[in-house]
A = this chain, B = another copy of it.
């Protein structure tokens, strides 16, 4: 075997073991008995220890030094292995262990502080998380600390570039939300009962309409919906709120977007460095375009309305037009995960600015709540009424996930670009959606983006699919046109 082949054989086993860890994560969130937590933690720790030893195996350095790529795909594979090896080995074992212990403990402390509306109980822990993440970032790069962390989620992106883009987006979003909230039209909320079994049946129909391959996946319930796995085994989860049907339905379509991406990657890339989505941002572009640009489109909601009347009977919505407005109802709220398409990016930008200030050192953890509340009032026009509606709402910081938040909004920006390119390239898309299938869209996304996995860097992945460099323009145009039409503003 050549050095390249030896490295890829080793890497393949590591990927397989890492797939097992992901499968255990799925098990834990869906079917694991509640009394099994301690034992599972020990099992996961044992597996993580095996994985860490493999990822820092000194033979990798030797193989990398000797391996020769004969194709661009091989060259990209070597780059990705080198990148991962360098990042993993630069963090001293002592720091990695300390961080792992801390964030595991921190999540419990955060959850309790949030439940008790007691920020002070969480601040010392968060300070410690920030301190260790800054230390880790300094190990990873001699440059900007926040960029060093961002690299884990959106390789190649910089906070300056993202920040500049967000700064261009924010005024247009704030202006649009003010126009929409000032409009005369009042969109009602649904008030009816939607039985769980029927919601789940409809969720399955929706996942099928978006091309989810059930022979290589399954749908289960989870507290926080997620997608897990790759290749031949990509599972999605959803949740059901009996008072309204959209939580289940659009969570399912969102996770179907993530899942279809992983299911569509070239089988030859399976268990290789190219075999997963290109980045968190690119992944989110798939879940978002499925959920929003396609799933909340006039065409698809028209079809969905008929299916829902079939499934639930009269649920108090007059016609497809009103249903479309309800699905896209704009309402300012404290909680990011419940936000509409228009407000969502404002939530993300707030977190992005605060977390880069925390990591950059210009904001102290002690001042975080005040900074959050001031910014929230500026962007949303409402005062935060309690910490669980404010800076304690998201789990991310307790997990040390600094650099993760911006990928949510990047995903929306990418989805905007892809939607523009796809609509130009695919005739008859709305007719298909109105008939209950997203196939022309998902075929286009599969062919132009999904099947390539990590073959290209994230921004290049989007550019190659769209034919232009990703930018915020298409998303903002789309939002202004859509919500302008719905609200007549």
Q: State the number of copies, please.
A: 2
Q: Does A232 contact B (CB under 8 A)?
A: yes
The winner among A20, A23, A34, A235 for most chain B CB atoms within 10 A is A20
Q: Does A38 contact B (CB under 8 A)?
A: yes
Asked if residues A43 and B20 are in contact (CB atoms below 8 Å), the reply is yes
Give the chain B neighbours of A233 by CB distance below 8 A. Answer: 32-33, 35-36, 39-40
Task: Give the CA-CA distance A37 to B32 in the complex, in Å.
Answer: 22
Asked if residues B270 and A31 are in contact (CB atoms below 8 Å), the reply is no
Give the chain B neighbours of A235 by CB distance below 8 A. Answer: 33
* Residues of A in contact with B, size category: 35 or more
A20-B24, A23-B24, A23-B27 given; A218·B33 CB < 8 A? yes
Q: Does A16 contact B (CB under 8 A)?
A: yes
Instruction: Give the shortest distance, in Å, between A342 (CB) and chain B (any CB).
Output: 37
What residue in chain B is nearest A26 (Cβ atoms)?
B27
Instruction: Give the shortest distance, in Å, between A57 (CB) and chain B (any CB).
Output: 13
A residues with CB within 8 A of B: 12-14, 16-17, 19-20, 23-24, 27, 31-40, 42-43, 45-47, 49-50, 213-218, 231-233, 235, 270-271
A39-B232, A39-B233, A233-B40 given; A16·B31 CB < 8 A? no
Asked if residues A215 and B24 are in contact (CB atoms below 8 Å), the reply is no
Task: Give the CA-CA distance A232 to B36 in the complex, in Å.
Answer: 5
A31-B31, A216-B33, A216-B36 given; A43·B16 CB < 8 A? yes
What residue in chain B is nearest A43 (Cβ atoms)?
B16
Give the chain B neighbours of A270 by CB distance below 8 A. Answer: 39
A23-B27, A215-B33, A217-B33 given; A46·B13 CB < 8 A? yes
What residue in chain B is nearest A42 (Cβ atoms)?
B16
One of B27, B35, B37, B47 near A17 (C-beta < 8 A) = B47
